[in-house]
Structure 1
Amino acid sequence: MRTIFSVILLLINAWANAQIKMQPLASVNLPKNLRFQGRPVQSIKYQDNTGSYLALTTQTGEQPQKGDDDFKQAHLYGYVYQLKDGVTPVLLWQLHDMVTECNLDMVANFIPASLSITDLDKNGKAEVWVAYRLSCRGDISPSELKIIMHEGTTKYAKRGIGKIMAGKAIQHDGGVITSDEFKKAPVSFKIYAGKLWDKYVLETM
């Protein structure tokens, strides 16, 4: 009986995983009628049991601060659109974060390849993950690190301060989580968010 139950469980998990289909999309292949701000960083087209979607991250890079050219600003955006044949993509949610009024060294970047799609709870509904750093600094100090996840309209975030690796030396300060909404999330989300934090916490200079 236990063997039969294990086989059934494996089949259920395989079916759930099969519901998520993903395809990285080059920026030149983005739909022409897609509306977004900034320059594309990474995009993934995916399909789950609720429909077809496009996840996109963009960033502006450093720009003059509006109204004061002595300062700089930079903006990050994340988007998820629902795709339907012959219909303009519908924006489902948008992330927007920024560094403003900065006259020092600025960091406002998505971590490379951090946009990812999972189905950790095996419900056939995709989870969309992004991670990025923000700072305005005049010395060797760590950036703010944020890991954001959406499953439909449900959002979780882990926020904190990363750590700096300068050469082969890791600075002592930083590495602190200041806010963790994953404490209230399903265990699979919580574990995965922790793994991403450990993966991204070090910032190389």
Structure 2
Amino acid sequence: MLPLPAPPIAGLRTSLLIGLTLMLVACKAEPPPPATRLDTASSPTAAGQVRRLSALPAGVELRGKLSAAYGWTDNAGENLLVLAEQQEARGPDGTQNATLYAAQYVLGQDRPRRLWMLSDGVTRCEFDASAAFDLDAIGFPDLNRDGALETIVGYRSACASDVSPNDYKLILHVGKTKYGLRGLDRQGVRWLDPDSGHLTGLPLPDDCSPQGQQALQAKGWEKDFEPPYLPGCYTDENDFTSAPPVFARHMRQQWFALMRQQEESWLKQQHE
């Protein structure tokens, strides 16, 4: 809204002041659109602002129901990340499938060019099949500081009939190259005893190395799982053997931050 003009005052000085005010208001830049949540466990700064999209451009393949889409511009050009989920009805044999699709596209050419695609999920499940993206895990850091953003996608899947940990994967794409941490999440691990008010179950791990998992199990906490499959831990960091150290360090931080967030959410549900 423009400021109200000053009362009529004779003289050239007043006219100049009013004109200058109008010019400043007219030239004021519009605020940028809000960015999506970037991964908070890192310090590297994104090269471009990431925005959440509600529609996909022509030429982009959508497999299943759109879960989320993000767009950004960096040194590699205009980019698009598409996440989709597909839950199938139970088949004649009584089994069920649940599938996830993720893909990154480079835009701005004659047609969108797919840089990579990920497809995962559960097939022929005789119980309840589920597969869903963890939108809190989505991140767009610039870990190698080359001006082109990497993408981080997290998701869980399960074939179960009870409340138990899901398979969890946290995937980093650097261009077409994929790195991942794969393990179990914290769903249904700790329970609040209604009588004593104490928590039962395996505490949240803070070290997923083989030695760390074995040390935690040696304390007698977990009987249903064995290393390297303790809930809240990934199995190994083998994908990062030849990668820059910052990749594994960042993904490790992200993993533990997400497991801690999930643990807090699970415990909060029990208080409600």
TM-score (norm 2): 0.61
1:185 pairs with 2:211: no
Higher alpha-carbon Rg:
2
* Structure 2 CA distance for partners of 1:101 and 1:187, relative to 1, 3 Å: same
Question: What's 1:144 paired with?
Answer: 167
Q: Tell me if the contact between 1:65 and 1:100 (Cα under 8 Å) persists in the aligned partners.
A: no
User: In 2, distance between residues paired with 1:74 and 1:183?
Assistant: 31
User: In 1, distance between residues paired with 2:200 and 2:167?
Assistant: 16
User: In 1, distance between residues paired with 2:156 and 2:257?
Assistant: 13
Question: What's 1:38 paired with?
Answer: 64
Question: What's 2:146 paired with?
Answer: 123
**Residue among 40, 47, 50 paired with 2:76:** 50
Q: Tell me if the contact between 2:141 and 2:151 (Cα under 8 Å) persists in the aligned partners.
A: yes
Question: What's 2:103 paired with?
Answer: 79
Question: What's 2:232 paired with?
Answer: 175
Larger fraction in strand:
1
Q: Tell me if the contact between 1:132 and 1:147 (Cα under 8 Å) persists in the aligned partners.
A: yes
Q: Deviations over 1:95-154 (max 9, x none)?
A: 000101113233311012322211012111211100011111122321111010111111
Q: Tell me if the contact between 1:163 and 1:171 (Cα under 8 Å) persists in the aligned partners.
A: no
Q: CA RMSD in A?
A: 2.3
Question: What's 2:88 paired with?
Answer: 63
Question: What's 2:186 paired with?
Answer: 163
Q: Tell me if the contact between 1:17 and 1:124 (Cα under 8 Å) persists in the aligned partners.
A: no
Q: Deviations over 1:52-79 (max 9, x none)?
A: 111111111x21356x351110100110
1:25 pairs with 2:52: yes
Report the residue type matching 1:92 in the other structure. Answer: L
Q: Tell me if the contact between 1:27 and 1:40 (Cα under 8 Å) persists in the aligned partners.
A: no
Q: Tell me if the contact between 2:96 and 2:128 (Cα under 8 Å) persists in the aligned partners.
A: no
Q: Tell me if the contact between 1:104 and 1:138 (Cα under 8 Å) persists in the aligned partners.
A: yes
Question: What's 1:198 paired with?
Answer: 256
User: In 2, distance between residues paired with 1:111 and 1:167?
Assistant: 22
User: In 2, distance between residues paired with 1:164 and 1:23?
Assistant: 30
TM-score (norm 1): 0.79
* Structure 2 CA distance for partners of 1:171 and 1:100, relative to 1, 3 Å: farther
Report the residue type matching 2:249 in the other structure. Answer: I
Question: What's 1:135 paired with?
Answer: 158
User: In 1, distance between residues paired with 2:178 and 2:62?
Assistant: 21
Q: Tell me if the contact between 2:137 and 2:258 (Cα under 8 Å) persists in the aligned partners.
A: no
Report the residue type matching 1:107 in the other structure. Answer: S
Question: What's 1:153 paired with?
Answer: 176
Q: How many residues align?
A: 185
Q: Tell me if the contact between 1:22 and 1:44 (Cα under 8 Å) persists in the aligned partners.
A: no
Q: How big is the shift at 1:170?
A: 6.2
Report the secondary structure of 1:35's partner residue: coil
* Structure 2 CA distance for partners of 1:148 and 1:170, relative to 1, 3 Å: farther
